[in-house]
Amino acid sequence: MTVRIGTRGSLLALAQAEEVKARLIAAHDHLSENNIEIVVMSTRGDRVLDRPLSEIGGKGLFTEEIEASLLSGDIDIAVHSLKDMATVLPDGLELVCYLEREDVRDAFISAKAATLKELPKGAVIGSASLRRQAQTLALRPDVSVVTFRGNVQSRLRKLEEGVVDATYLAVAGLNRLGLDDPRVHPIPVDNFLPAVAQGAISIEIASHNQTAREMLAPLNHRNTELCVRAERAMLKILDGSCRTPIAGYATLTGDQITLRGQVALPDGKESYSNTLQGPTQDPEALGHRLGQILRDQAGPAFFAKLAAGV
Ligand SMILES: NCc1[nH]cc(CCC(=O)O)c1CC(=O)O
């Protein structure tokens, strides 16, 4: 039997698929280079590069083709950056495995300054993430944020070409690619709360695929799973559409999860944050509660402004 791993074709996605392959081989005597195949797929999100993700319709953008192949049995498992995954999966699919989370922080990337604060007045920052845009404008209302998409390498190239003065990338992605660059300045999470599930790799299977489920069980990192489940439950309450700037980060101490969350307007002029603790028995309940608290805190006027496209 050959195990087929589906993935997107970016260098980061490939590195993540290779990591899962190596872990499977290490965990199972019957698996080797000879019976695990990495199947590279192109998704709509990879092909449309000239528009912000929030405009093309975030949900399923990077996953549709891969998920169809899981359901048809053309592949057995799919490896994803969990932060790119919708909170509700199509029927018949499941996330069954979470690898230990990498560095969760964003990095500020610039040759001109080590922090956003030190950038010259009116600087131009490239980012397609509404969250990073909102967090940036909240700290520096004078800068402009321009849409800036593409894979990690192409974004670094645009920085080199001087298209922008700075950009952001997740430290996890840079680490997985082995990129060590003097322009990379990790930002403390307290100053710039990361995206929900940032730094976590998750593995999706068709629910009926018992073989895949059992094969992946030894790869699961329980603490990561509990934290990202709480984060994603919060995200689900606040917005499934990717049009709301949302940040969330959970940590675990003993049997308690501490979950921090934030919602903001894209222009950075309004932002609401809160922190809540709850037991590891029910990460979803914690996420739901914090999501509801943030929704009440922000109030109907906030969501009306969001809907109006402020
Ligand atoms: N949205 C693209 C994406 N999805 C996952 C990562 C980085 C790795 C991770 O967070 O797991 C990135 C690039 C980035 O935001 O810098």
For range 136-159, the mean pLDDT: 90
Q: What is the pTM of this model?
A: 0.94
Query: Quick one: CA torsion of 16, 17, 23, 27, rounded to 10 degrees?
Result: 150
Average pLDDT over every residue of 29-45: 94
| Domain co-membership, 235 together with 256 | yes
Cα(254)–Cα(245) distance, rounded to whole angstroms? 30
- The residue to mutate among 14, 48, 81, 169, having the most atoms of ligand 1 within 8 angstroms of its beta carbon, is 81
- Percent of the chain clearing pLDDT 90 (strictly above): 83
pLDDT tier for residue 294 given thresholds of 50, 70 and 90: very high
Does residue 272 carry a pLDDT above 90? yes
pLDDT band at 154; cut points 50, 70, 90: confident
pLDDT of residue 138: 97
Q: Is 126 in the pocket of ligand 1 (CB under 6 A)?
A: no
For position 61, what pLDDT does the model report? 77
Domain count, the chain: 3
Q: Which residues contact 281 (CB under 8 A, 6 or more apart)?
A: 255
Question: Measuring CA to CA, how many Å separate 13 from each of 42, 45, 101, 102, 174?
Answer: 11, 13, 15, 14, 12
Instruction: Please compute the mean of the pLDDT values over residues 297-306 and round it to a whole number.
Output: 94
Identified catalytic residue from 76, 84, 106, 165: 84
Q: Where are the alpha helices (DSSP H) in 148-220?
A: 152-160, 171-176, 210-216
Of ligand 1's atoms, which has the minimum distance to the CA of residue 176?
8
**Is 236 among the domain residues?**
yes
Decide if 131 contacts 53 (C-beta within 8 A): no
Same domain for 149 and 95, yes or no, is no
Residues near 201 by Cβ (< 8 Å), separated by ≥ 6?
16, 19, 20, 79, 80, 81, 82, 98, 99, 102
Q: How would you class 136 by CB atoms within 10 Å of its CB: exposed for 0-12, middle for 13-18, buried for 19 or more?
A: buried
Domain annotation covers residue 294: yes
Question: What is the model's pLDDT at position 241?
Answer: 65
- What is the spatial distance between Cα 20 and Cα 221, in angstroms, rounded to a whole number? 13
Mean predicted confidence (pLDDT) in 106-115: 97
pLDDT per position as a tens digit, 234-248: 999 997 566 899 999
| Residue 289 covered by a domain | yes
Check whether residue 6 and residue 46 sit in a common domain: yes
pLDDT tens, 246-262? 999 999 999 999 999 99
Q: How confident is the model at residue 151 (pLDDT cuts 50, 70, 90)?
A: confident
* Calpha distance 100→201 (Å, rounded): 8
Mean pLDDT value of segment 143-150: 88
Residue nearest to atom 1 of ligand 1 (CA): 84
What is the per-residue pLDDT for 81?
Answer: 95
Is the shortest distance between the CB of 283 and ligand 1 below 6 Å?
no
Active site residue 239: no
pLDDT digits (tens, 9 = 90+) for 59-72: 677 899 999 999 99
Q: In terms of domains, do 208 and 77 share one?
A: yes
Instruction: State whether 76 and 145 are in the same domain.
Output: no
Residues 138 and 274 in one domain: no
Compute the distance from residue 125 Cα to the ligand 1 centre, in Å.
17
Q: Looking at residue 81, which CATH number applies to its domain?
A: 3.40.190.10
Question: In this structure, are 93 and 121 located in the same domain?
Answer: no
Check if 198 has its Cβ closer than 6 Å to any atom of ligand 1.
yes
Judged on CB neighbours under 10 Å (0-12, 13-18, 19+), 141 is exposed
**Is residue 172 within 6 Å of ligand 1 at its C-beta?**
yes
145-159: average pLDDT:
86
Q: What percent of the chain has pLDDT over 70?
A: 96
DSSP collapsed to 3 states, 115-129: CHHHCCCCCEEECCC
CA–centroid distance, residue 30 to ligand 1 (Å): 32
**259 and 182 within one domain:** no
Does 67 map to a domain? yes
pLDDT (mean) for 274-287:
98
Nearest Cα residue to atom 6 of ligand 1: 173
Residue 53 CA, closest ligand 1 atom number: 1
233, 239 Cβ separation under 8 angstroms = no
Note the pLDDT of residue 40. Answer: 97
Q: Average the pLDDT over 140-159 and give the result.
A: 89
Range(s) of the domain holding residue 159: 106-186
**Is residue 92 located within the same domain as residue 138?**
no
Per residue in 87-107, pLDDT tens? 999 999 999 999 999 999 999
176 is a domain residue? yes
How much is the mean pLDDT over the chain?
94
Q: Give pLDDT, residue 1.
A: 83
Based on the fold, state whether residues 86 and 211 are members of the same structural domain.
yes
For residue 83, which of 177, 164, 201, 260 has the smallest C-alpha distance?
201
**Token duo for residue 1:** 């039997």
193 within a domain of the structure (yes/no): no
Domain membership flag for residue 88: yes
Q: Determine the pLDDT at residue 57.
A: 64
Q: What is the mean pLDDT of residues 180-199?
A: 95
Spatial distance between the Cα atoms of 158 and 113, rounded to a whole number of angstroms: 17
Q: How much is the average pLDDT of 296-301?
A: 96
How confident is the model over 20-26, as a mean pLDDT? 98
Answer for the pair 175, 103: CB distance below 8 angstroms, yes or no: yes
Same domain, 244 and 115: no
Q: What does the pLDDT read at residue 135?
A: 98
265 found inside a domain: yes
Give residue 97's identity as a one-letter amino acid code: C
pLDDT for 54: 63
Tell me, what's the pLDDT at 152?
83
Strand 93-98: give its sheet, edge to edge: 36-41, 3-8, 77-81, 201-206, 93-98
Q: Based on the fold, state whether residues 159 and 298 are members of the same structural domain.
A: no
Q: Residue 264 pairs with which residues in a beta bridge?
A: 271
